[in-house]
Amino acid sequence: MARVLLDTNILIFLASPTSPRHALSQRAVERLIRHGAQPVFSAQVVYEFWSVATRPAAANGLGWPAADARRAIDGFRREFDMLHDPPEVVDLWLDIVVAHDLKGKRIHDAHLLATMRANGVSRLLTCNVADFPVEPGIAILTPEA
């Protein structure tokens, strides 16, 4: 079964029924499953989810209390498998950031790509395609596709 990494924004939209992208993200994940894919996420996505979920709404977050963020993460952990970072992730990450001359915040998205490579995952579902450098063998999917 082919695995597809869910980016943080997909989990944020799945956990936010009032988001205009909630239904679109939910349909995209359901479509992946219907076509035999296995949605997964990574530890980094958990950390990023927590940051957005608990950040005040005035600062582009959800403004949730910690208990609500924890419940959402626990739900994702029951529903989807979580990828782990084997030791080679650091070397794969370094290869990506050097190859694309990435600096600042963009290095976090490179870490997701390195985690995918280390775990044999070749597809990523995200709403932020432009955040990711083009990497051979990695397909970037959007909920609209």
Contacts 24+ apart (CB under 8 A), 74-77: 75/15, 76/11, 76/14, 76/15, 76/41, 76/46, 76/49
φ/ψ (deg, to 5) at 141: -105, 155
How does residue 26 score in pLDDT terms, banded at 50, 70 and 90?
Answer: very high
For 2-15, the pLDDT digits (tens) are 999 999 999 999 99
Average pLDDT for the chain: 95
pTM: 0.95
| pLDDT at 145 exceeding the cut of 90 | no
CATH code at position 33: 3.40.50.1010
As for how many domains the chain has, the answer is 1
What the block records as the tokens of 99 is 């190859």
In the chain, the DSSP E strands lie at 3-6, 38-42, 81-83, 123-125, 139-141
Q: Which domain holds residue 69?
A: 3-141
For 56-113, the pLDDT digits (tens) are 999 999 999 999 999 999 999 999 999 999 999 999 999 999 999 999 988 999 999 9
